[in-house]
Structure 1
């Protein structure tokens, strides 16, 4: 019996590739073209997992995902890294000379900026890279192009007008796998949390010092504003560890005493980067 898994984007997207890499066997992929749409799909009892991008090695965090992780009751149960290679796609008779507008996700524009700066094309933001390829296919217009993947070119029968236009050859996106329940086993070696502290000197240090006290390696810290409370921030932390480790338990319990708000987002096996 296949597993239902929601993902962001359309067929041919990097999110779909992440899904297939993480769930290689017998999966039924259900797409949605909005980040929050994937989270909402998990409200359906028949859909246990979702896959969304959370950060890129070139352009950084996908801020909306951090906000949604805090808003919804789901947990991170896995992660997967996908190497991202962008190509300029057009209809069968299109050439670089016929292009006037390029459609894609804003992050694809950022990741391909040096190449795009060489041309005078109008850049039109779109839901995702693959959905922009789908649009170019449907429009069948020589004057428009998409920045998307080689797989999208194959799915939507588009020509590759320019290969590998992203400036960073190691360009990689990290995707997280969402689940409805916290799952901890011996393979889990990465923990994600979010918290707030008092808005006073030393408050953040007090919460973070436990990483040093308990010899825990912090992997990432990201901040997001607290809506309706100016200049207050949520702090998102990734660090090494397993919740069954007594030192990790003590560190988390200690952190909670110095935080106004604390939420455990997940404990999972780190992906291969």
Structure 2
């Protein structure tokens, strides 16, 4: 049976590549042009998983994804890293001199800023890198270009005017796999949670002190504002561990006792670069 898997973007996107890297066989990809659209696709009984980007090594977190993880009841069941190599794509008859406008996702612009600063081009945001390549193809205009992947160039019949234009040669995006159920096995070695604390001195320390007590390695922390409550924040953390480990259970119980709000987002196998 094929798995129906929703992903952000269009064919040729890095999200599609992440999907195919994680699920190499028997999949039916379902693309959506909005982050929340992927979460909404999971409300359908016949959609099994979702794939969305959550952070980039050059430009940082995708804030909307963190908010959606807290809003929807789905779990992080896996992750995958995709090395991101951006190329300047255009129609076959275009040249660097003919280009006047460049389309791409805002994060791609940031990742290619030193290259773009060399030219007096208009920068036009698009909802994804691959969709910008599709737009260039459909426009068939040698005055416009896209920042996208080599796969998008092949898929949409575009030439690579300038290869590898991102300034960080180790540029990598982390994608998470969303699932409807939470199954833990011995390979699950990474945990993600979100919580809030009281707005007082030492509250965050109290929530996290069990990490030191039980020798747990925290991998990441992000904060997002609590809507309608100014200057209050949700804290998202990733840390090493398996929920079946007694020390992890004790640490989480201690954390929950010191939190106003606590939600487990997932326990899954960490990806390797």
TM-score scaled by length of structure 1: 1.00
Q: Take 2:183 and 2:72, find their aligned partners in 1: how far apart are those partners?
A: 17
1:96 partner SS = coil
What residue is the counterpart of 2:225 in the other structure? Answer: 225
What residue is the counterpart of 1:22 in the other structure? Answer: 22
What residue is the counterpart of 1:103 in the other structure? Answer: 103
Confirm whether residue 199 of structure 1 aligns to residue 189 of structure 2: no
1:115-154 counterparts in 2 under 5 A?
115-154=115-154
1:139-218 counterparts in 2 under 5 A?
139-218=139-218
What residue is the counterpart of 1:74 in the other structure? Answer: 74
Q: Take 1:240 and 1:45, find their aligned partners in 2: how far apart are those partners?
A: 32
Q: Take 1:48 and 1:227, find their aligned partners in 2: how far apart are those partners?
A: 30
Q: Residues 225-257 of structure 1: CA distance to partner in whole angstroms, max 9, x if unpaired? A: 000000000000000000000000000000000
Confirm whether residue 245 of structure 1 aligns to residue 245 of structure 2: yes
2:208 partner SS = helix
| Structure 1 residue 95 displacement after superposition | 0.6
Q: Residues 71-124 of structure 1: CA distance to partner in whole angstroms, max 9, x if unpaired? A: 000000000000000000001101100101000000000000000011111110
Runs of 5+ unmatched residues, structure 1:
none
What residue is the counterpart of 1:7 in the other structure? Answer: 7
Q: Take 1:183 and 1:134, find their aligned partners in 2: how far apart are those partners?
A: 38
1:160 partner SS = strand
Q: Take 1:236 and 1:76, find their aligned partners in 2: how far apart are those partners?
A: 13
Q: Take 1:81 and 1:231, find their aligned partners in 2: how far apart are those partners?
A: 33
2:165 partner SS = coil
| Structure 1 residue 272 displacement after superposition | 1.0
What do you get for the CA RMSD once the two structures are aligned? 0.4
What residue is the counterpart of 1:31 in the other structure? Answer: 31
2:235 partner SS = strand
Q: Take 1:133 and 1:166, find their aligned partners in 2: how far apart are those partners?
A: 16
Runs of 5+ unmatched residues, structure 2:
none
2:247 partner SS = helix
| Structure 1 residue 218 displacement after superposition | 0.1
2:102 partner SS = strand
Structure 1 runs of 4+ off > 2 angstroms? none
Q: Take 2:180 and 2:272, find their aligned partners in 1: how far apart are those partners?
A: 23
2:191 partner SS = strand
Q: Take 1:209 and 1:126, find their aligned partners in 2: how far apart are those partners?
A: 43
What residue is the counterpart of 1:259 in the other structure? Answer: 259
| Structure 1 residue 154 displacement after superposition | 0.2
Q: Take 1:97 and 1:25, find their aligned partners in 2: how far apart are those partners?
A: 43
Q: Residues 99-153 of structure 1: CA distance to partner in whole angstroms, max 9, x if unpaired? A: 0100000000000000001111111010100000000000011111000000000
What residue is the counterpart of 1:51 in the other structure? Answer: 51
| Structure 1 residue 48 displacement after superposition | 1.1
| Structure 1 residue 182 displacement after superposition | 1.1
